[in-house]
Amino acid sequence: MNDPTPATGIAFLHGGSHAQLATLADPALAPYRIRPVHVRTGALDELTEAAVIVVSDRLRPDLLRRWTGTVLAGLERGATVLVCGENDSGQWLPGVREQVRPTVFWWWRTGEDHRLRKLALDHPAWEFFSDRSVIWHYHGVLEPPAGAVSLVDLHTEAGTRDGSILYLDETSTAGKLLVTTMDPVYHHGSGFMPGATQLLYSALHWATRNREKKTC
C-alpha cells in the first residue's frame, strides 16, 4: 500500500493569521505531516506535487487569486482539494455560483432553526462526517456544478431550498473537490464554535483515507 500522506502530501495554503498558525501547530494534526504554504510568500510549485491541497478559510482575495490556477491544475491531475469558507469560491471555481447569507451564530442557544438539512445520506462521505461536524454555521450558499453532490443544504424560513453549504464534486475533474461555506480553520484555531474542530479533522481524514483506498 502506498503512503497517502508523504512528507509533501498535504499542502496547506494559509495567510499567517493567528487561527491558521494555531491550527498548523495543533499536535493532533502532526501525523498528517502538513506542509504550510504562505499565500503571500510561497512558490506556486509548492502545490504541484501535493496529493491533498487545503485552501484555508478567510484568505485575502487579491493574494489567493495568484494560486487559483495552480489549485485547479491540481484537480486536473487528480489531487484532492478542500476549499473552506469565505474564499470567493463563486469567482474562481468553475460552474459554481455563490451568494452571501446572514450567519446564524448561536441557534442552539436562541432556539432558532438553523435550517440546515443533510442530503445524500447514503453517500460514502457520511462515514467520515458527524452531524455536529457539518451543522453549526455558514457564510453563504453555493450552487454546485452539474454532477456534484450537495451534502448539506440551507433552507429558507419558508422551507424551500436556498443552496448548498457543503458539496463534493468527484465528476468535473480527475480529482476530488470538497467545498464549504463554513470556516473550520478560523474557528478551530480561535478555540470556539462547536463542530468546527470536528469538521476540520473529519475533512482531513476523509481526504487522506480516500487517497489511501485509491492507491492500495
Pairing between β-strand 141-143 and β-strand 116-118 as defined by DSSP bridges: unpaired
pLDDT for 2: 41
pLDDT for 113: 93
Architecture per CATH, domain 10-215, reads as 3-Layer(aba) Sandwich (3.40)
Tell me how far apart the alpha carbons of residues 142 and 60 are, in angstroms, rounded to a whole number: 19
Beta bridge partners of 176: 80
Q: CA neighbours within 13 Å on the CB side: how many for 122?
A: 0
Residue 10 CB neighbours (<10 A): 25
Print pLDDT tens along the chain (216 aa).
344 433 359 999 999 999 999 999 999 999 999 999 999 999 999 999 999 999 999 999 999 999 999 999 999 999 999 999 999 999 999 999 999 999 888 898 888 899 999 999 999 999 999 999 999 999 999 999 999 999 999 999 999 999 999 999 999 999 999 999 999 999 999 999 989 999 999 999 999 986 554 443
**Domain residues of the chain, as ranges?**
10-215
Predicted TM-score of the model (pTM): 0.92
pLDDT for 5: 39
Provide DSSP, 7-67: TTSEEEEE---HHHHHHHT-GGGGGG-EEEEETTT--GGGSTT-SEEEE-SS--HHHHTTT
Beta bridge partners of 141: 99
